[in-house]
Structure 1
Amino acid sequence: MTAELRLDLAALEHNTELMARWCRERDLELCPHIKTTMTREIVERQLAAGAWGVTVATVDQAEVALEWGVRRIMIANEVVDEAGLARIRAWLETVAGLELYAFTDSAVGLARAVAALEGVRTPLRLLVDVGAEGCRTGVRSAGAASALGRAVATAPGCVTLAGVAAYEGVRPNRRDPATLAAVTGHCRTAAEAFRALAPLVTAGPPVFTIGGSAFPDLAADACREPGERSPGREPVRVLRSGCYVTHDHGTYQQVTPVPGLRPALTVRAVVVSVPEPGLAVVGAGKRELPHDAGLPVLVGPPGAAGTATQIFDHHLVLTDASGLAVGDVVQLGISHPCSAFDKWPEIGVVAPDGSVHETWRPRFRPGG
């Protein structure tokens, strides 16, 4: 057999309902970041569980979501290229009921959006992106966020200020005191910016959104900080978690504060060589297995043992191996689901009896 990505359907549906309930209990909306899976059957389950909309990372992913019928989409990124803005303009002109959000973190990016969208029928809803020093996108202070937000609020009507966004996952996925303090500080900076800008939002309730895959508890705390509460102006507090839906056997299992999430992904592969005592080589590697957030772990068959220590293009080396022979089928738990789905054109969906009863196909680009 060749290697195969398998998805435990019962675990996935459990995680979907669990996270939806966790957010409801905290008065949060969930706008799952579907770049994790880009799999229609999964996204439909998330929406059916009450998701506010979906989050994507790219214009291509937004187009796929549109093809699936989603009409509230948040592009958690700055769109500044002419081609991307032209596609957004076409959607805003033609797609009925579309509520489209994007991030902005500079006057230059704002000017490019205004130039590309001038005169558009439905405005693009912009969220001021608050970042952290030395990290990813986003303005670096609450003051800078306020200044940019005021510029968005007074820009031509082709764009409108929708609120504030942040991403707390720019810090390492650890829960040591220093990391928790840094994440908390970042979330509070975003909350400060939101309090300043919420009164300037005119197109519906102001939106405050934070990522929330690794630190949803800290994101939820920041979202609960006081905001404008006049009638009809209650803020919409949105969590953009994505990895919860399949969870993992690695980085998110170690860091999540949400109890009860279950790993839903494994990779089945064959032991192709046992060249030395205590060493087994599995026929799956970098092309099949996520490895950016830790190497896979051996989770089956029962009685087998081994620790992944090296990974090559199509081989994984297990040391301290026992109970494994050439031809044995192993199950590997993965770390970081965002780096799993894009490696596989097909996913075997496993029923409670262990049989593969469906095949799902991720789509990261339109037209696939």
Structure 2
Amino acid sequence: MVNLSADLHLSSLPQLLLDVDAIDANISLKEQWAAEHSMVLAPHIKTTMTREIVQRQLPGSWGVTVATPAQAAHAVSWGARRILIANEVVYPPLVAELRRLLHAHPAVELHCLADSSAAVSALAHGFPDADHTLSVLLDVGVPGGRTGIRDVAEAPALADAVRAAPGLRLAGVSAYEGIAPNVRTPENLASIDAHCRAAVEVFDLLRDRFEVDQPLFSVGGSAFQDHAARFLPDGSLNILRSGCYVIHDHGTYAEVSPLPGLRAAAVVRAVVVSVPEEGRAILGAGKRELAYDAGLPALVAHHRDGATLEEPDGVVVRLFDHHAIVDNAGALRVGDTVDLGISHPCSVFDRWRTALAVQGNTTELWHPQF
């Protein structure tokens, strides 16, 4: 649970608040878990894209994961030297951006995904020679899912296409089980296991084609990392690329994460601006400030006159652009403040240019950069 003082001196509300102690504890817990399961971390920093958080993650990580070349450039500027772009980069100007990044930073290792001959061709056109080498991981998907080959039999020909391109090298296999619904039903877990098993099958099929000493096997988000860790091929460097764990949440991941001890590290503090009807309160924060793609926010703290009151009453039932409607809100008064817990942290940081990071009596302004 986020534990932030009620008497923070805030010049404006609403405000995204970060519990730095919780962030640090989550990072330590995740590093320990990965080591115990024969994995290394490349945290998916698109969750926060915040320098101060990423630089806390870097010392205990193999590298970082990003979604776009622009995020990769930020990661390099923050000190990352191994970067996995867990995405298909096929648009020529973006491929050129990758080449420029490697030219400017020769010590950086850059890895991206491919799932088709067209994708390999797009990368090869941007890397026509061996002066700058881009590492490629074969992307393994599932029917009806996102990117990734659908049939294990596609893998050898695609691997050979990567090997034939002078500026590319075949470095491993990537899969992502997190596209499955965030529920732990037997049927869902069986589907996740089948996907991870297929990725290992592709890896084994390509063992004599990899062009690196220790090929990479990238799998594992924040929801089903325990199942991903059951399917790791021998002889690979197993990269866990979870992202949400560093902030955790009060909803989706709180319900499904297999890692006990993670602490929700972010809330949005908002003021009660109106109590127009009995039992209904209106908060001064809405869709522009709050994530809602994986469930509405939850009231987790209630403050009045610098003091934190008992567990808050009320349920957020609807969001407008800058307002939240709370029902069953008998204890809320105009001028009170509440802390709203977020479900799915990936969708809140991009709403904020500043986040107030709180550690004891110390506060700092951190700046997400997307």
Q: State the TM-score, normalized to the length of structure 1.
A: 0.93
Given the alignment, which residue of 78, 81, 98 partners 2:91? 81
Q: Does 2:244 correspond to 1:236?
A: no
Q: Does 2:58 correspond to 1:47?
A: yes
* Correspondence for 2:319: 311
* Correspondence for 1:137: 147
Given the alignment, which residue of 196, 200, 208 partners 1:187? 196
Q: Provide structure 1 residue ranges, at least 5 long, that are not aligned to the other structure.
A: 228-233
AA of the residue aligned to 1:277: E
Q: Is the 8 A contact 2:54 2:78 kept in 1?
A: no
Given the alignment, which residue of 8, 24, 27 partners 1:16? 27
Q: How many Å apart are 1:323 and its aligned residue?
A: 1.1
2-structure distance, mates of 1:183, 1:191: 13
Q: How many Å apart are 1:94 and its aligned residue?
A: 3.4
* Correspondence for 2:156: 146
Q: State the TM-score, normalized to the length of structure 2.
A: 0.93
> How big is each residue's C-alpha offset from its partner over 1:268-304, in whole Å with a ceiling of 9 and x where there is no partner?
0001111111111111000000000000000111333
1-structure distance, mates of 2:185, 2:23: 29
2-structure distance, mates of 1:300, 1:316: 15
Q: Provide structure 2 residue ranges, at least 5 long, that are not aligned to the other structure.
A: 1-11, 303-308
Q: How many Å apart are 1:322 and its aligned residue?
A: 2.2
Q: How many Å apart are 1:151 and its aligned residue?
A: 2.3
AA of the residue aligned to 2:368: P
* Correspondence for 2:255: 254
> How big is each residue's C-alpha offset from its partner over 1:151-210, in whole Å with a ceiling of 9 and x where there is no partner?
222x12200001100111111111111111111111111111111113311223110001
Aligned pairs (5 A) from 1:213-228: 213-223=222-232, 226-227=233-234
* Correspondence for 1:230: none
Aligned pairs (5 A) from 1:279-290: 279-290=280-291
2-structure distance, mates of 1:322, 1:215: 39
Point out 4+ residue stretches in structure 1 off by more than 6 angstroms: none
2-structure distance, mates of 1:42, 1:333: 19
* Correspondence for 1:98: 108
Q: How many Å apart are 1:313 and its aligned residue?
A: 0.6
2-structure distance, mates of 1:280, 1:260: 33
AA of the residue aligned to 1:13: D
AA of the residue aligned to 1:256: S
Deviates more, 1:7-16 or 1:118-127: 118-127
2-structure distance, mates of 1:146, 1:191: 14
Partner of 1:202, secondary structure, is coil
Q: Is the 8 A contact 1:8 1:349 kept in 2?
A: yes
Deviates more, 1:30-39 or 1:63-72: 63-72
* Correspondence for 1:324: 332
Q: Does 2:36 correspond to 1:35?
A: no
* Correspondence for 2:4: none
Q: Is the 8 A contact 1:92 1:120 kept in 2?
A: no
Q: Is the 8 A contact 1:207 1:235 kept in 2?
A: yes
> Between the two proteins, what is the percent identity of the paired residues?
49
AA of the residue aligned to 1:94: A
* Correspondence for 2:363: 357
AA of the residue aligned to 1:360: W
Aligned pairs (5 A) from 1:286-305: 286-301=287-302, 302-303=309-310, 304-305=312-313
Paired residues in the alignment total 352
